[in-house]
Amino acid sequence: MALKSFVEVGPESHFPLENLPYGVFRHLEVEGEGEGEGGVSHSSSRPCVAIGDYVLDLSVIAAAGLFDGPILKSNYQCFLQPSLNMFLGMGRPAWKEARSTIQKLLSAEEPKLRDDKSLREKSLLPMEKVQMLLPAKIGDYTDFFSSMHHAKNCGTIFRGPENPIPQNWFHLPIAYHGRASSIVISGTDIIRPRGQGPPIGNSPPYFGPSQKLDFELEMAAVVGPGNDLGKPVDVNTAEDHIFGLVLMNDWSARDIQAWEYVPLGPFLGKSFGTTLSPWIVTLDALEPFACDAPKQEPHPLPYLAEKKSKSYDIPLEVHIKPAGQKHSSIVTRSNFNHLYWTLTQQVAHHTINGCNLRPGDLLGTGTISGPDPESLGCLLELTWNGQKPLSLNASVRKFLEDGDEITFTGCCKGNGYNVGFGTCSGKILPAPQ
């Protein structure tokens, strides 16, 4: 049975009292306030949670003294920051206390906020009146490669059907370092990258706008407390280091990537933009949707062998809306639970060499493809590298065209309520001349 808030929450809403995802916003009406540089605070950006079609401004709630639990009473400053990093670093006891305080404060029975018109008007803002920002300062962004179906399909397309999955894949969660500077919030336009593509025959390499622009359906974990350099995180306590999940589009230029990636991996084929959904859905909110992760064979090495191997049942969709079309087409229905490696294994592997994670770091899952043709997480797989174009209402696609708008959604279905992620979207603009 669904919990009841005094704020109206429609039955299809992603953001009922059971969810309470965290984000950072600023008022749309505030103008002329520049973004600070080099760590200067922006007075106008602050943490919030989503409830129905509203954001609850946590800086107002904190300033009103309503975080009165044992941890946050003396640490409410975490909600007066321009990003969530301080709160992220405080760990699960603080997160659980904040969740319980906010859940109570917004519940139908609790008068504190419900009956205080002035505080309500100051703290509850319609979503259309605010602009969502990146929820955290992301020090480092790592992208994994944890879907076996994606690994198999890419290997088959690029290297042929014999042994498409590299030998190391089943022994460790493969990953690469991504580019943090070009991570943008949902709704930011993506400029088609220019770059080099593979030469044909003896001619020089192709140079120009990417001709194989793609999306990658991913989710990403946001790191909570970090670890010190030289101190690996144990796989069985790794969950304490993960705050929650967002949707992520790891935009990829397949022609640039194909030419550049040997021997040091993807670089400019990825670094022109990566889009995040604004709401971090906490692992606590996702707990009712926890399920077993797929069985792993061969059995992982001891540092990756966990007592409980947990995944989450999170249905995911990809929608494409070509320029000028009224409606979007669904091209992918996938699920987080298709991933082979778990979030906790990713953390344990990432730190086994002593590498330090910091609060706000981002760990992408890799493209989330499932076993079925309609569950593939990128056009490279959906169109088999352009060989089988995809029909979208009136048009067809091998890869993305200028004006295409790509939207990811993800939503867990509970008993009478949703725990949703909202949307992660971006529109392709033409390359510079």
Return the number of the residue (274 or 351) whose C-beta is nearest Mg ion. 274
CA distance 382 to 22: 33
Contacts of 160 (CB under 8 A, 6+ apart): none
Return the number of the residue (23 or 266) whose C-beta is nearest Mg ion. 266
Nearest approach, Cβ of residue 278 and a copy of itself (Å): 18
Integer distance in angstroms from the first to the last C-alpha of the chain?
A: 56
Nearest approach, Cβ of residue 270 and Mg ion (Å): 4
Residue 242 CA to chain centroid, in angstroms? 13
DSSP 234-263: PTTTGGGGEEEEEEEE--EEHHHHHHH-TT
Q: Would you state the structure tokens that stand for residue 93, as one six-digit string?
A: 């006891």
**Catalytic annotation on 150?**
yes
Q: Which residues sit at the interface with Mg ion, rule CB under 5 A?
A: 250, 270, 274
CA distance 359 to 84: 9
Return the number of the residue (111 or 263) whose C-beta is nearest a copy of itself. 263
Residue 216: name its binding partner from a copy of itself, Ni ion, Ca ion, none (Cβ under 5 to 8 Å by kind): Ca ion
**126 contributes a contact to Ni ion by CB under 5 A:** no
φ, ψ (nearest 5 deg) of residue 216: -135, 120
Q: Which residues sit at the interface with Ca ion, rule CB under 5 A?
A: 143, 216, 250
Residue 267: name its binding partner from a copy of itself, Mg ion, Ni ion, none (Cβ under 5 to 8 Å by kind): a copy of itself
CA distance 207 to 195: 6
Return the number of the residue (36 or 371) whose C-beta is nearest Ni ion. 36
Nearest approach, Cβ of residue 56 and a copy of itself (Å): 22
235 close to 303: Cβ distance less than 8 angstroms:
yes
Return the number of the residue (73 or 171) whose C-beta is nearest a copy of itself. 171
CA distance 64 to 80: 12
Nearest approach, Cβ of residue 251 and Mg ion (Å): 5
Residue 250: name its binding partner from a copy of itself, Ni ion, Mg ion, none (Cβ under 5 to 8 Å by kind): Mg ion
Cα–Cα nearest to 131, from 184, 90, 92, 85: 184
Q: Would you state the structure tokens that stand for residue 39, as one six-digit string?
A: 């760590």
Please report, as residue ranges, which positions from 28 to 87 form the binding site for Ni ion (by CB under 5 A): 36
Cα–Cα nearest to 406, from 186, 242, 203: 186
Nearest approach, Cβ of residue 77 and Ni ion (Å): 16
CA distances from 160 to 93, 154, 174 (A): 49, 9, 20
Nearest approach, Cβ of residue 301 and a copy of itself (Å): 5
CA distance 256 to 276: 22
CA distance 348 to 237: 9
Out of 14, 150, 319, 349, the active site residue is: 150
Contacts of 43 (CB under 8 A, 6+ apart): 33
Return the number of the residue (270 or 398) whose C-beta is nearest a copy of itself. 270
Residue at token pair 């399909």: 153
In the bound complex, which residue of the shown chain has the CB atom lying closest to Ni ion?
36
Nearest approach, Cβ of residue 214 and Mg ion (Å): 11
In the bound complex, which residue of the shown chain has the CB atom lying closest to Ca ion?
250
Count the alpha carbons within 13 Å of 87 in the hemisphere toward its beta carbon: 33
From the DSSP assignment, how many helices (H) and strands (E) are in the chain? 10, 26
Residue 274: name its binding partner from Mg ion, Ni ion, Ca ion, none (Cβ under 5 to 8 Å by kind): Mg ion
Return the number of the residue (220 or 412) whose C-beta is nearest a copy of itself. 220
**Site residues, Ni ion (CB under 5 A):** 36
Active-site residues: which are they? 150
